[in-house]
């Protein structure tokens, strides 16, 4: 039993407390480098790892963004409890992500392009209609002139045909997930108008 206690002691001593985090912020308040915040993020990553996200990489990423937001927005002058602050940000990011996902699923189920399910073109049982759908999409892509319009068209194609998640598309294009979601919604409206004309 003493052996177990001695093996746990080093782990417990590595855990940060509110006081040690407060001291860290005070010590580095004039520091322009983010290196100490990155180290703090790594030291606190156990807050994310201890939660079970059932293999959902996106949720873990959202939780990590919540932790990072908590670290960069923490105001040590207000004497907040840092762990409550970080928990709120982590939970908030996860809650918002889940809500957005539910909205996405609802939107996907309601978007119909002349009777075709835009979210699942491969599941359409009418090959001719699918060919028409693809040809229309290709024609629509050719109407895009500016660089931004072409990029937006590729983003919707990645999501619609390749089946990439919004997070994957965002990472690939160096954009935020929210921006990709906006582009997708706008592009679907435009394509729907083009397809149905």
Domain map of the chain by residue range?
Answer: 2-105, 113-196
The pLDDT tens digits of the residues spanning 89-126 come to: 998 888 888 887 776 665 555 444 444 444 444 333 33
Residue written as token pair 């407060």:
22
pLDDT band of residue 53 (cuts 50, 70, 90) is low
The Cα 166–Cα 150 span in angstroms is 18
Sign of CA dihedral 26, 28, 31, 32: negative
| pTM of structure | 0.48
Residue whose structure tokens are 């004309």: 197
Q: Which residues pair with 117 in a beta bridge?
A: 112
Higher pLDDT, 68 or 149: 68
Query: What is the reported pLDDT for 111?
Result: 47
CA distances from 111 to 64, 149, 160 (A): 32, 21, 12
For 178-190, what is the mean pLDDT? Answer: 85
Residue 52 pLDDT > 70: no
């Amino acid at each position: 039993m003493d052996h177990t206690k001695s093996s746990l002691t080093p782990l417990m001593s590595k855990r940060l407390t509110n006081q040690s985090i407060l001291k860290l912020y005070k010590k580095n308040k004039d520091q322009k480098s983010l290196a100490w915040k990155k180290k703090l993020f790594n030291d606190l990553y156990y807050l994310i790892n201890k939660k079970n996200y059932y293999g959902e990489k996106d949720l873990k990423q959202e939780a990590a963004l919540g932790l990072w937001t908590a670290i960069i927005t923490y105001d040590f002058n207000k004497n907040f409890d840092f762990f409550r602050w970080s928990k709120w940000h982590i939970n908030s990011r996860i809650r918002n992500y889940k809500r957005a996902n539910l909205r996405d699923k609802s939107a996907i189920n309601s978007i119909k392009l002349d009777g075709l399910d835009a979210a699942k073109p491969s599941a359409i049982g009418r090959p001719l209609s699918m060919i028409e759908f693809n040809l229309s999409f290709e024609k629509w892509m050719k109407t895009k002139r500016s660089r931004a319009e072409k990029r937006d068209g590729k983003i919707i194609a990645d999501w619609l045909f390749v089946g990439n998640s919004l997070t994957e598309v965002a990472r690939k294009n160096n954009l935020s997930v929210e921006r990709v979601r906006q582009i997708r919604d706008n592009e679907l409206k435009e394509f729907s108008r083009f397809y149905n004309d």
